[in-house]
Amino acid sequence: MSRRTVQVNGLIRQALSDLLSQANDPRLKTLVSVTEVMTSPDLSQARVYVSAMGSEKERKEVFKVLVGASGFLRRELGKRLEIKKTPALEFILDRSLEAGGRLLRLIDKVGDEADSSAASQ
């Protein structure tokens, strides 16, 4: 990945995070964060990984809103960023934070079980 692509990824991530935090849409009432952006080498496409807090139903609603607003968000990115071509946005629901939390709970459970078995001996 070129240095320019890495810079553009960071710019898009920051700008989208700002746009989403300023959104007035009531369907985006849950915490939504942009975890990663990966653009194609020619900067025509950008995969935007987003994480949303809340129930599964709320996450799906947030995803629908983002997909529906992709044209608007792309237009706003074009206004904010100083790049020749604004990439088309493809939103992907990122479940890594959820998986990380589940892994931490499992580690805690194993640690608690080890402590209780050591105390009983």
3-22: average pLDDT: 90
pLDDT of residue 11: 93
B/e letters for 34-60, b = 16+ CB within 10 Å, e = fewer, are beebbbeeebeebebbbbbeeeeeebe
Q: What is the pTM of this model?
A: 0.76
pLDDT of residue 48: 95
60-96 pLDDT tens trace:
888 888 999 899 999 999 999 888 889 999 999 887 7
For the chain, give every domain's residue range: 3-95
29-62 pLDDT tens trace:
777 889 999 999 888 999 999 988 878 888 888 8
Domain 3-95, what architecture?
2-Layer Sandwich (3.30)
